[in-house]
Amino acid sequence: MNEHRYTLTISCPDRTGIIAAVSGFVAQHGGWIVEASYHTDDLTRRFFMRQEIRADSLPFGLDEFRSRFAVLAAEFGMDWQISDSAQKKRVVILVSKQDHCLDDLLHRWRSGELAVDIPCVISNHDDLRGFVEWHGIPFHHVNMDDKDAAFAEIARLFEQYRGDTLVLARFMQILPPQLCRRFAGRVINIHHSFLPSFVGAKPYHQAYQRGVKLIGATCHYVTEELDAGPIIEQDTVRIDHGDSVEDMVRYGRDIEKTVLARGLRYHVEDRVLVCGNRTIVFR
The answer to whether 148 is a known catalytic residue is: no
- pLDDT for position 200: 79
Q: Which domains does the chain have, with CATH numbers?
A: 5-84 (3.30.70.260), 89-281 (3.40.50.170)
In angstroms, rounded to a whole number, what is the distance separating the alpha carbons of residues 216 and 114? 23
pLDDT band at 118 (very low <50, low <70, confident <90, very high): very high
If you average pLDDT over residues 109-114, what whole number do you get? 96
pLDDT band at 201 (very low <50, low <70, confident <90, very high): confident
3-class DSSP assignment, residue 275: strand
- pLDDT for position 197: 84
With a cut of 90, say whether residue 194 has pLDDT above it. no
Tell me the average pLDDT of the chain: 96
- pLDDT for position 2: 76
pLDDT band at 195 (very low <50, low <70, confident <90, very high): confident
With a cut of 90, say whether residue 139 has pLDDT above it. yes
pTM: 0.95
Alpha-carbon Rg for the chain in angstroms: 20
If you average pLDDT over residues 195-223, what whole number do you get? 89
With a cut of 90, say whether residue 198 has pLDDT above it. no
- Cα 55 to the chain's mean position, in Å? 24
- pLDDT for position 1: 58
Cα angle 163, 188, 69 (rounded to 5 degrees) comes to 65
Among 175, 170, 204, residue whose Cα is nearest residue 187 = 175
If you average pLDDT over residues 61-87, what whole number do you get? 97
- pLDDT for position 199: 84
Share of the chain above pLDDT 70, in %: 100
Q: Could you say which of 56, 84, 164, 227 is catalytic? A: 227
